[in-house]
Amino acid sequence: MVGQRSGQDKQRVTHQASIHVEEGLKQPEVPMQAAKFASKGGIIMCGHIPILTRWKDYKADDEKQLKIYIGKLVEQFNIDTTSQLVIEACTDMLKSQERQGRYQLKKKYFEDLAANEVPTKTPVTTINDDYQPHRERFTINIDNHEAIRYPQHTESRSYVAQAHAVTTVEAVAAVVQSRIFREVAGIHPPIKKRTRVGTILQVEEIQADIESEKQGGAQLRQKIAEQEIARSFEKQHKVVTLSDF
């Protein structure tokens, strides 16, 4: 006698979930469909799709990798492969997972590693040893870095050079103390973002410069007056000699 549940479990196991993508969306609108679509897509990406260097490499050979990806999704879901909306959703999912996969590989095997610790062969099975065009560029950059004599010209300035770097205006201002002279010479300090504290400091600096210039002028006037007094004193007490007759 056949039970009432005969065949129901098999139908449940072999049943494929439907994936529907509405116009203007890049993933299913139903949350359960979107979660299953992303989960299965990630598993397919890890097991069947290689991680290439650039996204345009996936479009090579008549979009071979994209067709394999969609074919594997068809085995898991009931989707319409002739729909342009579904194809665009699958393409966007593959592109997102491929970018995330490259980021995880870079973070795990390349970042914060010395040059001698970087693996020369592929650390995962999803990348071929021969398909690493970035390795050649990486080696060339290391060789060129050792030959650089003036790294500050390549915008790779060290911390010491960056901390003590001065502009032409700052160098002249360190030697020439007179603000008026710098303005007359056309050497203006760089414009900084104005704040309340910065404005107060700037006013105090201007006042200090004015006082310094006043003191310098007063000393100069005093010196000139002393010279005039000495000159007049010499005229009044001029010694008469025979050569004057």
Q: Is residue 54 part of a domain?
A: yes
Average pLDDT over residues 201-223: 78
Q: Is residue 242 part of a domain?
A: no
Q: Is the pLDDT of residue 219 over 60?
A: yes
Question: What is the pTM (predicted TM-score) of this model?
Answer: 0.41
Same structural domain, 57 and 100: yes
The confidence score (pLDDT) of residue 74 equals: 83
Same structural domain, 79 and 19: yes
Which of these ranges, 13-27, 65-79, 178-192, has the smallest mean pLDDT?
Answer: 178-192
Q: Domain ends where: 109, 134, 149?
A: 109
Average pLDDT over residues 96-115: 77
Q: Is residue 86 part of a domain?
A: yes
Total structural domains within the chain: 3
Q: Is the pLDDT of residue 1 over 50?
A: no
Q: Is the pLDDT of residue 37 over 80?
A: yes
% of the chain residues with pLDDT over 90: 0
The confidence score (pLDDT) of residue 245 equals: 47
The confidence score (pLDDT) of residue 231 equals: 79
The Cα–Cα gap between 68 and 44 comes to 10
Same structural domain, 178 and 95: no
Same structural domain, 105 and 14: yes
**Residue-wise DSSP of 45-103:** HHHHS---SSGGGGGHHHHHHHHHHHHHHHHHEE--TT-HHHHHHHHHHHHHHHHHHHH
Same structural domain, 220 and 177: no
Residue pair 179/209 in contact by the 8 Å Cβ criterion: yes
Residue pair 80/131 in contact by the 8 Å Cβ criterion: no
Same structural domain, 176 and 91: no
Q: How many helices (H) and strands (E) does the chain have?
A: 9, 2
Same structural domain, 61 and 103: yes
CB within 8 A of 58, min separation 6: which ones? 52, 65, 66, 94, 95, 98
Q: Is residue 206 part of a domain?
A: yes
Determine the residue type at 198.
Answer: G
The confidence score (pLDDT) of residue 108 equals: 76
Same structural domain, 57 and 98: yes
Half-sphere exposure of 150 (CA within 13 A, CB side): 1
Q: Is the pLDDT of residue 93 over 70?
A: yes
Residue pair 69/50 in contact by the 8 Å Cβ criterion: no
Mean pLDDT for the chain overall:
70
The Cα–Cα gap between 182 and 176 comes to 8
The residue that leads in pLDDT, 140 or 38, is: 38
Output the 3-class SS for 49-65.
Answer: CCCCCCHHHHHHHHHHH
Average pLDDT over residues 149-173: 57
The confidence score (pLDDT) of residue 181 equals: 62
Same structural domain, 104 and 171: no
**Other CB atoms within 10 Å distance of the CB of residue 152:** 12
Q: Is residue 67 part of a domain?
A: yes
The confidence score (pLDDT) of residue 77 equals: 82
Determine the residue type at 181.
Answer: F
The residue that leads in pLDDT, 11 or 207, is: 207
Helix, strand or coil, per DSSP, at residue 123: coil
Q: Residue 43: pLDDT band by 50, 70, 90 thresholds?
A: confident
Q: Residue 103: pLDDT band by 50, 70, 90 thresholds?
A: confident
Same structural domain, 14 and 105: yes
Average pLDDT over residues 5-23: 63
Which structural domain, as residue segments, surrounds residue 168? 159-191
Q: Is residue 153 part of a domain?
A: no
Q: Is residue 140 part of a domain?
A: no
Q: Tokens representing 141?
A: 């950059």
